[in-house]
Structure 1
């Protein structure tokens, strides 16, 4: 049966891949098929010989699991300070935290996810002042009894952990506001593009209307009114006179030849 890696075994920034992949050979895969049950499923990994037990996917983790030297909760959630063994210096921010502080008692499941009206800004300012005061006390201790610095540094560490945890509780709010901002930017970009398209359509319609007006003027010039008819009549008269002149010129030529 596969063993859990020791804590911190994969704490490297670029850890090597697990060695389980070396067991996925053609021989082992063929041997694993012979161990399949009648319904086609694989038996539990603890009933298979080594190294076939490494080819069976492990069951989904329950509670928590370790990856890259860190412990992750299942389902994924942000652990409380009490679960990390750190004293919480500000009031609970949700009913779930109140229930955990009271030993699991309290309201129903619907109320556990309810947020309490805790002003995190006020709490962060209060913790900042406490941090500055404890730092000044640490400076005094280091000047009078340096060997007693452990208590003050522990207090400073607790305050910093509380501030860090309180700030991290803003992460869902930050993600929600960031998503709203991106959606507003996308909506504004879409509106701007739509307005530009409308302006382009209006410009094309103006150009087409101008072309239509030019066509109407051309029709009015070429025909359809008295001026156009008069010009056509002048052209016809000119053609007729030219034909008469041609006929007279031919007659004169013929007479000269005779």
Structure 2
């Protein structure tokens, strides 16, 4: 009996200690929130100027707008200035939720993202190969270049698969494996020197990911082609089904017409026999 009571007492003590640790953790979190209310791990509080968006201030703002007041004049009023819509930033980028975004959608390069580019871009043909081309080919190349420039003015040219890009992907994959093995060795011998190697691996992965993303347009085009082909096959199947149904209906109608004619002929023969 005493042994059972001691077990229950130990169990209750453990529960109390766990509860005490839980409340200590909550208290520490609340202390952190009090010291830094804009902590990134938690939802930030709403901006303080939302209190100025009252019905009275909104009606006052609308009346001032209708009276011809400019935004600059309205922004000088203490309680109404927060209702003036902010102007668009003059830069090409803006920050939202901790990330940098572009006003115009475009393919951002590694250098613009602040990442070192470790692969070589596709190089143009050499001068010797260009010198061996004929005059007609040169004229065609000039026309193609002009058309390419016109396309570049409208939209970015899609990058296509090339042997150079595939070779670069293979080299970066091998380099990634080698750096990973070196990282394992550093972690076993001297973990303090592992951070530069981790940064190098991160750079390699970003370059691989960026190079693969350059083929997204090609992937979307191929996906669209597959969907269109599938839709075309479905349309052909439906068309064949409609033709089969129409042919069966026509046969049924022909049979009904023949039966009707036979019935009329039989009735006529019977009427003639009775006469």
- 2:259 maps to which residue? 214
1:75 aligns with 2:104: yes
Per-residue CA deviations over 1:43-78 (Å, capped at 9, x if unaligned) read: 248833233222222233441112222211111223
Aligned match for 2:88, one of 47, 56, 60: 60
C-alpha distance in structure 2 between counterparts of 1:142 and 1:181, whole Å: 47
C-alpha distance in structure 1 between counterparts of 2:120 and 2:241, whole Å: 53
CA-atom RMSD in angstroms: 3.5
- 1:248 maps to which residue? none
Moved more, 174-183 or 206-215: 174-183
With over 3 angstroms needed to count, the CA separation of the structure-2 counterparts of 1:13 and 1:129, relative to structure 1, is farther
Per-residue CA deviations over 1:187-234 (Å, capped at 9, x if unaligned) read: 3222222222222111111110111111121122222xxxx1xx4354
Matches within 5 A, 1:1-258: 22-36=51-65, 40=68, 42-44=70-72, 47-61=75-89, 62-92=91-121, 113-114=156-157, 118-119=162-163, 120-223=165-268, 228=269, 231-232=270-271, 234-236=273-275
Structure with bigger gyration radius = 1
Give the CA deviation at 1:26.
Answer: 2.1
CA contact (8 A) 2:95 2:101 kept: yes
C-alpha distance in structure 2 between counterparts of 1:235 and 1:15, whole Å: 103
The TM-score with structure 1 as length reference comes to 0.66
The alignment partner of 1:57 has SS state of coil
CA contact (8 A) 1:93 1:115 kept: no
- 1:99 maps to which residue? none
With over 3 angstroms needed to count, the CA separation of the structure-2 counterparts of 1:53 and 1:172, relative to structure 1, is farther
The alignment partner of 1:87 has SS state of coil
The TM-score with structure 2 as length reference comes to 0.63
Give the CA deviation at 1:136.
Answer: 1.8
- 2:22 maps to which residue? none
- 2:15 maps to which residue? none
The alignment partner of 1:195 has SS state of helix
CA contact (8 A) 1:11 1:68 kept: no
C-alpha distance in structure 2 between counterparts of 1:184 and 1:20, whole Å: 55
CA contact (8 A) 2:119 2:168 kept: yes
C-alpha distance in structure 2 between counterparts of 1:14 and 1:80, whole Å: 32
Return 5+ residue gaps in structure 1 as ranges.
Answer: 1-8, 96-107, 237-258
The structure that is helix-richer by fraction is: 2
